[in-house]
Amino acid sequence: MAAKIKVFLVDDHGLLRKALHEGLEATDEVQVVGEAATGREAVAKALELDMDVILMDVQLQDPQMGRSAMSGVGAAVAIRRERPRMPVVFYSIQDDDEYYREFRASGILTHYAYVRKSNYLLPSMLVPLLRDAVNGRSLVDPEIEDRVQEVRDLDEQSPRALLEPNELRVAELMARGMTNEQIAARLKLHDKRAVSRTNGRIYAAWGLSDNAVDDKVARVRATLIYMHNRLMIWDENGAALVQDRRGEWVPFFEDE
């Protein structure tokens, strides 16, 4: 009989974590050697455990960290700095672009699977994924792959991709609330008017020159576009609109 797979289980939902633990061990092919509820806890424990593979939720809430909580992908990247190519199986019920974007940026190449939890619900379906990851094989659930590609396509059309490097730097400093004079000083520009000219290029690239708005309004709108990295337009009532997956312009803010 093949040796049991030593699994480190990471999920922020206590009841689900308990059910997975019991279900996996009931297959008689898995030994759960440790558990964690947050990304921070996962990184700390992963350096101590004798494990073969990590089974980890992508979304990990952390009450102490709030919105800056480390995701499963972020935890895997941190763990692999100390334990290179540590096998990991990600699962998720979330469909948030930011998780797919983070996964793309992580550079994870091998020894992994990324699946939608609803497609691989039973422990008996997870065990082959765990064993394949341990053996260096990788899998991306077709639904996940489609969404990753969709996010890639979105990013290639992102507002930031429309700017040259110097324009992007000015947009970043503008979004930090700096004045033109402060930006010029930070970038050590000889001609302070260069910032105003660059602002004009940014507004033109993002369609902000198409409307008769003053520089202060354009500046605020450019900051919103930079921070969210999504092209926006504003209707005659001042409501911000973005394109949905069907290409239709819809309100960006929920109360509009």
With cut-offs at 50, 70 and 90, classify the pLDDT of residue 152.
confident
Rounded CA gap, 200 and 203, in Å?
A: 5
182 with 111, same domain: the answer is no
Are 93 and 197 members of one domain? no
Angle between helix axes 72-82 and 39-46 (nearest 10 degrees) is 20
User: Angle between the 14-26 and 123-134 helix axes, to the nearest 10 degrees?
Assistant: 80
One domain, residues 148 and 169: no
Residue 247 belongs to a domain: no
Q: What would the pLDDT profile of 117-135 be if each residue is shown by its tens digit?
A: 989 989 999 999 999 999 9
89: domain CATH number?
3.40.50.2300
Query: In CATH, what number is assigned to the domain containing residue 173?
Result: 1.10.10
Inside any domain, residue 237:
no
* In the chain, alpha helices (H): 14-26, 39-46, 72-82, 97-106, 123-134, 142-156, 165-175, 180-186, 193-205, 215-228
Helix, strand or coil, per DSSP, at residue 7: strand
Range of the domain at 110: 5-155
Kindly indicate the confidence band of residue 153, based on its pLDDT and cuts at 50, 70 and 90: confident
* CA–CA gap between residue 185 and residue 179 (Å, rounded): 10
Task: Note whether 126 and 213 are same-domain residues.
Answer: no
Give the contacts of 255 (CB within 8 A, at least 6 positions apart). Answer: none
Chain-centre distance of CA 6, in angstroms? 28
For 43-80, the pLDDT digits (tens) are 999 999 999 999 999 999 998 888 788 999 999 999 99
In angstroms, the first-to-last Cα distance of the chain is: 61
The reported pLDDT for the residue numbered 101 is 85
Based on the fold, state whether residues 43 and 135 are members of the same structural domain. Answer: yes
- Give how many domains the chain has, as a whole number: 2
With a cut of 70, say whether residue 212 has pLDDT above it: no
Is 154 a residue whose pLDDT tops 80? no
Report yes or no: 131 and 55 within 8 Å, Cβ to Cβ: no
